[in-house]
């Protein structure tokens, strides 16, 4: 069709009943035809390219347009059907196109230039209202997508920072969190302690009863820890049967008491996997309090030394290092 040529009656009815031109006065539609350029677009031709300037709103009369964020490969993020418009958002915002729009089939459309677009906005209340509704719908869709992306991101963050078997925090979480906790407590001049918990004779369970039984024991111990640690205490599984406990705003004496309470709870666990009674569980603990000029690495090294003593001195006990006095201690059976 040439500029100013009469639209087929079916297409004119479509413009009046659907999309951005719904409810627009027929006199204004007639003048829009005079001001605009009908175009035939072949499949694959690009109307809008993401990131590039746009000077038209396109009213789709026939065919299908596809909307992509990048190259038109695979499934598009959306499709545009007769009666709908594209390009009006970038015209309103005086910005580049936010997506690429390509003809998916042979397409007939009306190309409305910027001057005609703003003429119609000022001329027709119905057109302006339709634009407002369209933009509100797109904003709502964008918000829904953003919420979905945020939920997905939080899911992946949780997966990345938690142990898949026990649901406890993992080594990555510890490496990220512990330095910040240590820095915060040193700045506030508050006590902070850590402990290493190592399950005793865990290899015997795996070797004698199978890895499924070993996994069951780890999950049971993790749940025991959740029930017996204080709400402010933190725990991470950092190895096969090794865990790190963090005790914010807690000195050595309080951390030893917390470790002992958990050690006794572990020893009291009755473990039975698939009807088979498992050997009684026990754990060795090494506790250390953060020193005045110590970083998180030094704190964990001293807790590691303490748990090593607990293991070599008979297991099922809590050992600790007092950084200020350099004295070692022991509690437990």
The pLDDT tens digits of the residues spanning 256-284 come to 999 999 999 999 999 999 999 999 999 99
Residue 87 counted as domain residue? yes
Burial category of 156 from C-beta neighbours within 10 Å (exposed 0-12, middle 13-18, buried 19 and up): exposed
pLDDT digits (tens, 9 = 90+) for 233-264: 999 999 999 999 999 999 999 999 999 999 99
pLDDT of res. 217: 96
Give the model's confidence band at 152: pLDDT under 50 very low, under 70 low, under 90 confident, else very high.
low
Residue 95 counted as domain residue? yes
Among 110, 145, 180, residue at a domain's last position: 145
Please tell me whether residues 191 and 316 are part of one structural domain. yes
CA atoms within 13 A on the CB side of 253: 0
Tokens of 45: 């031709």
Please tell me whether residues 283 and 215 are part of one structural domain. yes
Task: Tell me which H or E stretch contains 62.
Answer: strand 56-62
Catalytic residues: 241
Please tell me whether residues 217 and 251 are part of one structural domain. yes
**Which CATH number characterizes residue 59's domain?**
2.60.120.10
pLDDT digits (tens, 9 = 90+) for 274-310: 999 999 999 999 999 999 889 999 999 999 999 999 9
Residues 6 or more apart whose Cβ sits within 8 Å of residue 112: 32, 35, 36, 56, 57, 58, 59, 120
Among 111, 145, 179, residue at a domain's last position: 145
Residue 277 bridge partners (DSSP):
272
Please tell me whether residues 100 and 211 are part of one structural domain. no
Rounded alpha-carbon distances, angstroms, from residue 299 to 179, 193, 258: 10, 8, 17
pLDDT of res. 295: 94
Residue 2 counted as domain residue? no
Please tell me whether residues 108 and 70 are part of one structural domain. yes
Find the helix packing angle between 171-188 and 296-312, rounded to 10°: 120
pLDDT of res. 20: 72
Residues 6 or more apart whose Cβ sits within 8 Å of residue 323: 288, 289, 290, 291, 294, 302
Residue 151 counted as domain residue? no
Does residue 269 or residue 33 have the better pLDDT?
Answer: 269
Among 128, 145, 162, residue at a domain's last position: 145
Please tell me whether residues 86 and 192 are part of one structural domain. no
Name the H helices within 229-295: 252-267
What's the mean per-residue pLDDT of the chain? 86
pLDDT digits (tens, 9 = 90+) for 164-198: 899 999 999 999 999 999 999 999 999 999 999 99
Number of domains in the chain: 2
Residue 215 counted as domain residue? yes
Q: Which domain, by its residues, includes 113?
A: 9-145
pLDDT of res. 27: 84
Rg over alpha carbons for the chain, rounded to the nearest Å, is 34
Please tell me whether residues 257 and 183 are part of one structural domain. yes
Tokens of 188: 């506030």
Q: Average pLDDT of 200-214?
A: 94
pLDDT of res. 326: 46
**Which CATH number characterizes residue 200's domain?**
3.30.70.270
Residue 153 counted as domain residue? no
Please tell me whether residues 273 and 180 are part of one structural domain. yes
Residue 325 counted as domain residue? yes
Please tell me whether residues 132 and 202 are part of one structural domain. no
Please tell me whether residues 124 and 176 are part of one structural domain. no
In angstroms, the CA 303 to CA 285 distance is 8
């Amino acid at each position: 069709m040439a500029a100013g040529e009469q639209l087929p009656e079916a297409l004119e009815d479509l413009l009046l009943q659907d999309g951005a031109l719904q409810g627009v006065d027929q006199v204004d539609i007639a003048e829009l035809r005079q001001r605009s350029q009908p175009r035939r677009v072949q499949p694959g031709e690009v109307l809008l390219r993401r990131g590039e300037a746009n000077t038209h709103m396109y009213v789709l009369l026939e065919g299908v347009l596809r909307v992509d964020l990048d190259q038109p490969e695979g499934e598009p993020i959306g499709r545009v059907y007769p009666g709908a418009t594209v390009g009006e958002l970038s015209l309103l915002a005086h910005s580049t196109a936010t997506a690429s729009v390509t003809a998916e089939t042979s397409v007939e459309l009306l190309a409305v230039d910027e001057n005609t677009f703003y003429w119609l906005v000022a001329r027709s209340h119905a057109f302006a209202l339709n634009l407002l509704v369209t933009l509100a719908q797109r904003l709502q869709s964008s918000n829904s997508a953003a919420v979905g992306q945020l939920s997905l991101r939080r899911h992946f963050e949780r997966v990345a920072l938690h142990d898949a078997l026990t649901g406890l925090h993992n080594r990555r979480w510890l490496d990220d969190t512990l330095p910040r906790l240590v820095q915060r407590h040193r700045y506030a001049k508050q006590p902070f302690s850590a402990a290493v918990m190592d399950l005793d004779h865990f290899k015997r369970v795996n070797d004698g009863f199978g890895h499924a039984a070993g996994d069951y024991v780890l999950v049971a111990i993790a749940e025991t820890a959740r029930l017996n640690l204080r709400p402010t205490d933190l725990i991470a599984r950092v190895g096969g049967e090794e865990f790190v406990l963090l005790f914010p705003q807690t000195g050595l004496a309080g951390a030893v008491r917390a470790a002992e309470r958990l050690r006794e709870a572990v020893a009291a666990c009755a473990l039975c996997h698939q009807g088979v009674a498992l050997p009684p569980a026990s754990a060795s603990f090494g506790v250390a309090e953060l020193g005045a000029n110590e970083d998180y690495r030094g704190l964990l090294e001293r807790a590691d030394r303490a748990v090593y003593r607990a293991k070599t001195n008979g297991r099922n006990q809590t050992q600790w290092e007092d950084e200020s006095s350099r004295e070692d201690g022991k509690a437990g059976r």
